[in-house]
A and B are shown apart, each in its own frame.
Chain A
Amino acid sequence: MRGRLARRRLAGPLALSAAALALLVVLAAGIGSVPIGPGEVLAATGRGLETSLRGVLGLAPTVEEAGLDAGRRVADTIVWRIRLPRVALAALVGAALALAGAGFQGVFRNPLADPYLLGAASGAGFAASLVMVGGGTVALLGRFGVPLAAFVGATATVVVVVALARRGWTLPVVPLVLAGVVVGSCLTAGTSFVLLAAREQAAGILTWLLGSFAFASWERVGSVLPLLVVAGAGLLAAARALDVLQLGERAAAQLGVPVEALKLTVVAAGTLATAAAVSVAGVIGFVGLVVPHAVRLALGPDHRRLVPIAALWGAGFMVLADLVARTVIAPAELPVGVVTALVGAPFFLVLLRRGSPQ
Chain B
Amino acid sequence: MSGPKLQATDLTFGYDPARPVVQDVSLHVDASEVVFLLGHNGSGKTSLLACLSGVQRANAGSITIDGRDAYAMTPTERAQRIGLIPQLHVAVFGYDVLDVVLMGRAPHLSTFSAPTREDRAIALESLDRVGLAGFHERRYTQLSGGERQLVMVARGLTQRCDVLLMDEPDAHLDPRNQLRVLEVVSDLAREHGLSFVVSSHAPNSALMFADRVLLLRHGRTLALGSVKDTLTETLLSEAYAMPTEVISKTVNGQRVPRAILPRRIDKVPDEIATLALDPDALEQPGSSLANLVHASRTRAQRTLVTGARGTGKSRWCERLVDQARRRGWRVAGVLSPPVMDGEHKVGIDLLDLTTGQRQRLADVRRDAGQGTTTERWRFEDATLSWGNEVLRRAQHAAPQLLVVDELGPLELQRDAGLLAGIAAIDALEQGLACVVVRPSLLDAALKRWPDAIVVDVEDR
Contact = CB atoms under 8 A, between A and B. Distances in A.
B106 A255 contact: yes
B99 A256 contact: no
B302 interface: no
B248 interface: no
A296 B93 contact: yes
B150 to A, nearest CB: 15
Contacts of A248: 86, 89
Q: Taking each of A246, A256, A304, A358, which has the highest tally of chain B beta carbons within 10 Å of its own beta carbon? A: A256
Interface in A237-286: 237, 240-241, 243-244, 246-248, 250-251, 253-258
A109 interface: yes
Contacts, number: 87
Interface stretch (B49-57, B220-228, B317-325): B49-57
A143 interface: no
Contacts of B50: 250
Contact of B109 (A4, A240, A357): A240
Contacts of B243: none
Nearest to B109: A240
Contact of A111 (B76, B93, B103): B93
A3 to B, nearest CB: 10
Given A243-B103, A244-B103, A255 B92 contact: no
A247 B89 contact: yes
Contacts of A254: 53-55, 75, 78-79, 82-84
A335 interface: no
Chain A contact residues, majority secondary structure: loop
A110 B90 CA distance: 11
B77 to A, nearest CB: 9
A258 B55 CA distance: 11
A137 interface: no
Chain A, interface size: which category? Answer: 20 to 34
Contacts of A47: none
Given A247-B103, A304-B114, A253 B94 contact: no
B99 to A, nearest CB: 6
A240 B55 contact: no
B95 A300 contact: yes
A33 interface: no
Q: Taking each of B93, B104, B139, B155, which has the highest tally of chain A beta carbons within 10 Å of its own beta carbon? A: B93
Nearest to B120: A8
A115 interface: no
Contacts of A109: 92
Interface string A316-358: 0000000000000000000000000000000000000000111
A356 B112 CA distance: 29
A302 interface: yes
Interface in B67-85: 74-76, 78-79, 82-85
A110 B103 contact: no
B91 A246 contact: yes
Interface residues of B, number: 36
A8 to B, nearest CB: 9
A301 interface: yes
Given A250-B50, A250-B55, A250-B84, A255 B159 contact: yes
B250 interface: no
B92 A257 contact: no
A302 B95 contact: yes
Contacts of B75: 253-256, 258
A7 interface: yes
A256 B91 contact: no
Nearest to A253: B55
A356 B93 CA distance: 8
Nearest to B159: A255
A300 B106 contact: no
B111 interface: yes
A237 B40 CA distance: 42
Contacts of A110: 92
B107 interface: yes
Contacts of A356: 92, 94, 141
Contacts of B103: 243-244, 246-247, 255
Q: Which 10 A-B pairs have the closest CB atoms?
A: A301-B93, A254-B84, A256-B76, A256-B75, A358-B94, A255-B106, A256-B107, A248-B89, A256-B79, A253-B55
28 contacts: A4-B137, A111-B92, A237-B111, A240-B106, A240-B111, A240-B112, A241-B111, A246-B92, A246-B93, A246-B103, A247-B86, A247-B100, A247-B155, A250-B50, A250-B84, A250-B86, A251-B85, A254-B53, A254-B54, A254-B78, A254-B79, A255-B75, A256-B76, A256-B78, A296-B94, A358-B94, A358-B139, A358-B141
Given A254-B55, A302-B95, A302-B99, 9 more contacts: A246-B91, A246-B93, A247-B89, A254-B79, A296-B93, A300-B94, A300-B99, A301-B93, A358-B94
Interface of B: 50, 53-55, 74-76, 78-79, 82-86, 89, 91-96, 99-100, 103-104, 106-107, 109, 111-112, 114, 137, 139, 141, 155, 159
